[in-house]
Amino acid sequence: MKRFLTLTMVVLLALGLLAGCGGARGGDAGGEGSGDGPIVIKFSHVVAENTPKGQAAQMFEEKAEEYTEGKVDVQVFPNSQLYDDNEVLAAVQQNNVQMAAPATSKVSKLFPQWQIFDFPFAFPDVKAVQTAMESEEIGGKLFTMLKEEKLLGLAMWDNGFKQMTLDEHPLYMPKDFEGQKFRVMSSKVLEAQFEALSANPIPMPFSEVYSALEQGVIDGQENTLSNIYSKKFHEVQKYMTLSNHGYLGYAVITNSEFWEGMPEDVRTQVEKALDETTQWVRENGQRLNQENLDKIKADGTLEEIHTMTEEEKQAWMEATSGVYDQFREEVGAELIDAVLELREQ
């Protein structure tokens, strides 16, 4: 009996160890494995499902599973269910999740150059960002550097442009920012933007913003309309200025070893699914944000939604223009000049 028990324990232990090692196939985690099950691609993100990124992740899941005829199993984890802003890059590097789409500002934790997208009024529209990403000197450079950290940049997904909200009073001119506490993503450029407006920037993960607004830990924040609406920020703020002052988009990334380890025929189909999804985001991201503005208006929780005037825009631009010079060294003069050149066109 004793011998039987010992044997059982050894078998159970061995099974446990095998499960712990789980490769891509039939296992829990991604990576090349020898089982017969599908390759698991865990995709972690922080926003709600009814946003450009949330919908894109779902679309990618459906298409990838369809095109590979079930050879991959994409598992999407929205709303910071698996990882928070501060954790997700390391999780991809360690292959604990195989895909993520952090805001470009958050990639700057590893590569400060990615803060290029955070400069105030750097891009007149989403098309300009797409042109930048397609160019060798901006997009090419940014994607290439990811490889140094075991990451592979697969695509860029747009959300759109950020708007400002505040609880205390409307934001018209730079002086209205004075002394107010604004949540920022983890980006020194974003901090500098608010400092240039004499406000106090407070870096904070996305998952904490709603309660920080509700409890008055912060007075305001900047985000896209889809993020504001889906996370109900407009219910705990009184004023919004439609300023389009900064871009918010995502680096769709994977663990390079995992990606390159996928059988080529499977990878080709997954890449096709991703390309089609990227195209969909390009065509629909702005529509989703516009629809969210209509919903915010219909909710009627904000006291005022102000559209920035040309005079106000000039004043905000002037107040924050020094941020570009401040970061020439950290972000890179060449990148900054390339973006500014593009803006002039």
| Contact set with ligand LMR (CB under 6 A) | 46-47, 53, 103, 159, 185, 206, 223, 227, 248
Amino acid occupying residue 201: P
Distance CA 90, CA 148 (A): 13
CB 23 within 8 A of CB 33: yes
Question: Which of residues 31 and 160 has its CB atom nearest to ligand LMR in the complex?
Answer: 160
**Smallest separation (angstroms) from ligand LMR to the CB of 345:** 28
Question: Which of residues 266 and 296 has its CB atom nearest to ligand LMR in the complex?
Answer: 296
Interaxial angle between packed helices 333-344 and 126-134, expressed in degrees from 0 to 180 and rounded to the nearest 10:
130
**Smallest separation (angstroms) from ligand LMR to the CB of 168:** 21
**Smallest separation (angstroms) from ligand LMR to the CB of 162:** 8
**Smallest separation (angstroms) from ligand LMR to the CB of 335:** 20
Question: Which of residues 103 and 336 has its CB atom nearest to ligand LMR in the complex?
Answer: 103
Distance CA 227, CA 191 (A): 20
**Smallest separation (angstroms) from ligand LMR to the CB of 73:** 24
Distance of CA 116 to the CA centre of its chain: 14
Nearest to 326 by CA among 214, 184, 192, 230: 192
Secondary structure of residue 81 in the 3-state scheme: coil
CB 181 within 8 A of CB 199: yes
Question: Which of residues 28 and 235 has its CB atom nearest to ligand LMR in the complex?
Answer: 235
Question: Which of residues 86 and 314 has its CB atom nearest to ligand LMR in the complex?
Answer: 86
CB 307 within 8 A of CB 173: no
